[in-house]
Amino acid sequence: SDRINIAIDGPAGAGKSTVARKVAEQLDYIYIDTGAMYRAVTLSAQRAGIEPRDSEKLSVHARTLDIKLAPGENGQAVFLNGENITDLIRSREVTLAVSHIAANETVRELLGRLQRQLAESKGVVMDGRDIGSHVLPDAELKIFLTASVQERAQRRFKEIAATQSITLEQLEQEIAERDRLDEQREISPLICAKDAIVLDSTSMSIDEVAALIVKLSRTKL
């Protein structure tokens, strides 16, 4: 066939979203940021005053939400019940809570279903934590993108230091904690799928990683 699905999973800050966006651009595929969906549910729960541990309330709330992704100025725009929340979901408050919300079974079921629908007609590059292992087990190309936690913290620090007051050490701790929560949750945790290709981006540039994935994708056609 002429189009495949590409899953890019890995820990926080490994460069998945930038890489996935570039790969999608080069292949003329659709980029889907699944982390943005979990962030959208998190923002909505916070606004409604729902604690992550109140799983019943959170489940009921999640079922009422309409989450949509659309091509935006810098990649992808996210809409919650029609409201553009693209910038709001990048706040520290959302980032600190999202892994707790993402552990909820109903939330994962709902978003997983939405993600599968979006991938039905092929030609998507989807980034997340459980795409190759759980959401799209039949994806033709699966990448597990990693980098050392120090490198990931440093990259993120350069991105946000100007706008948010946080130290590199704090950031490193928060990233490590998010990885721990994502790896240890019961339902579809962050794991490397058996048939995924592991890429360590610690000493590779984003462009090198993207070019490699594009090359690999051609071998799957």
Residues placed in the known binding site for ATP = 10-18
Taking contact as CB under 6 A, which single stretch among the options 34-42, 74-82, 152-160, 166-174 is the one that binds ligand C5P? 34-42
| DSSP 8-state symbol, 29 | -
CA-to-CA distance for 125 and 19, rounded, in angstroms? Answer: 10
What is the smallest separation between the CB atom of 173 and ligand C5P, expressed in angstroms?
Answer: 14
* Residue 174 interacting with ligand C5P (CB under 6 A): no
* Position among 130, 142, 147, 174 found at the interface with ligand C5P (CB under 6 A): 130
Neighbours of 192 (CB within 10 A): 17
* Position among 67, 102, 119, 139 found at the interface with ligand C5P (CB under 6 A): 102
* Residue 133 interacting with ligand C5P (CB under 6 A): no
What is the smallest separation between the CB atom of 214 and ligand C5P, expressed in angstroms?
Answer: 21
Of the candidates 34, 47, 116, which has an alpha carbon nearest to the alpha carbon of residue 81? 47
C-beta of 142 vs 178, nearer to ligand C5P: 178
Annotated binding site: 10-18
CA-to-CA distance for 61 and 141, rounded, in angstroms? Answer: 34
* Residue 35 interacting with ligand C5P (CB under 6 A): yes
C-beta of 130 vs 172, nearer to ligand C5P: 130
Query: Could you tell me if 23 and 213 are in contact, meaning their C-beta atoms sit under 8 angstroms apart?
Result: yes
CA-to-CA distance for 48 and 42, rounded, in angstroms? Answer: 10
Size of the site for ligand C5P (CB under 6 A): 14
Query: Could you tell me if 126 and 115 are in contact, meaning their C-beta atoms sit under 8 angstroms apart?
Result: yes
Residue 29 tokens, joined: 């595929």
Pairing mode, strands 67-72 and 75-80? antiparallel
What is the smallest separation between the CB atom of 38 and ligand C5P, expressed in angstroms?
Answer: 4
* Residue 142 interacting with ligand C5P (CB under 6 A): no
State the angle between helix axes of 55-63 and 34-47 in degrees (0 to 180), rounded to the nearest 10: 110
| Residues that bind ligand C5P in the complex, under the rule CB under 6 A | 12, 34-35, 38-39, 98-99, 102, 128-131, 178, 182
